[in-house]
């Protein structure tokens, strides 16, 4: 897999969040990044077919449309996210880019998509995680987010589920874990901290409204829908 310039941050009492590298994530994903000192891409877990890892939704002519990256799994069902390959026999970057252009060409943020997002899709390499990470890091830079990005596969880790999360956090000095709200279901049994004493905090993000030029707002689209519709400045405010 290709190498991005990721560096281990120095210092103590870092707020660390951990998420799978998903494809063009929603606003809440970037809110988590905005609240973190370190954001860890959880790339050493099993790839899940038809998940957010390979697809997301945008609005085209007012209709919710899936945009998907077809993949190949070298190790079958046990393939990890980091090893999942883009299937270029079925994925045409230029076709996806044309869909984005068609959806947002007459909207306020089209120039930002053309300059900061579409080139990353056009230059997609062989690995899905590599594409997802490039898009997430690139969009984070557009949003002026300052988190340091790290791959879990580059850290000392062990176990699964909450044990895996704790092993990632142990790579940092006196870390505090910032968890997405959805993980509260299985982390609740820990009563606010891991066995090692690392405290757990939960994201509190309420989906904001932005102008989609529709009668009824459609939430939980990819962040490119917000960027495309209202531009990068307003989107910065939406993820804070």
Q: For the chain, what are the domain ranges? A: 15-238
Contact 16, 128 (CB under 8 A): no
pLDDT score recorded for residue 6: 59
Task: Print pLDDT tens along the chain (240 aa).
Answer: 555 555 566 667 899 999 999 999 999 999 999 999 999 999 999 999 999 999 999 999 999 999 999 999 999 999 999 999 999 999 999 999 999 999 999 999 999 999 999 999 999 999 999 999 999 999 999 999 999 999 999 999 999 999 999 999 999 988 999 999 888 888 888 999 999 999 999 999 999 999 999 999 999 999 999 999 999 999 999 999
The CB density around residue 187, as the number of other CB atoms within 10 Å, is: 19
**pTM, to two decimals:** 0.94
Give SS3 for 189.
Answer: helix
Residue whose pair of structure tokens reads 């494809």 in the numeric block: 23
Q: Which tokens go with 188? A: 């609740």
Residue whose pair of structure tokens reads 């707020």 in the numeric block: 15
> How far, in whole angstroms, is CA 195 from its chain's centroid?
27
Q: What b/e string do you get for 143-175 counting C-beta neighbours within 10 Å, with b at 16 or more?
A: bebebbbbbbbbbebeeeebebbbbbbbbbeeb
Write the pLDDT tens digit of every residue in 152-182: 999 999 999 999 999 999 999 889 999 998 8
């Amino acid at each position: 897999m290709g190498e991005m310039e990721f560096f281990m941050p120095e210092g103590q009492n870092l707020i660390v969040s951990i998420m799978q590298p998903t494809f063009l994530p929603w606003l809440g994903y970037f809110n988590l990044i905005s609240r973190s000192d370190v954001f860890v891409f959880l790339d050493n877990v099993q790839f899940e077919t038809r998940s957010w890892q390979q697809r997301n939704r945008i609005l085209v002519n007012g209709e919710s449309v899936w945009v998907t990256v077809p993949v190949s799994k070298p190790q079958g069902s046990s393939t990890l996210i980091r090893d999942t390959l883009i299937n270029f026999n079925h994925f045409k970057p230029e076709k996806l880019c044309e869909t984005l252009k068609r959806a947002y060409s007459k909207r306020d943020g089209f120039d930002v998509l053309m300059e900061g997002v579409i080139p990353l899709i056009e230059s997609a390499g062989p690995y899905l995680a590599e594409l997802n990470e490039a898009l997430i890091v690139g969009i984070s830079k557009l949003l002026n987010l300052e988190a340091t990005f790290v791959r879990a596969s580059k850290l000392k880790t062990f176990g699964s589920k909450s044990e895996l999360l704790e092993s990632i956090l142990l790579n940092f000095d006196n870390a505090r874990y910032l968890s997405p709200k959805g993980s509260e279901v299985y982390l609740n049994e820990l009563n606010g901290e891991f066995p090692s004493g690392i405290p757990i905090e939960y994201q509190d993000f309420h989906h904001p409204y932005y102008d989609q030029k529709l009668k009824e707002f459609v939430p939980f689209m990819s962040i490119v829908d917000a960027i495309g519709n209202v531009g990068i400045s307003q989107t910065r405010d939406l993820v804070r």
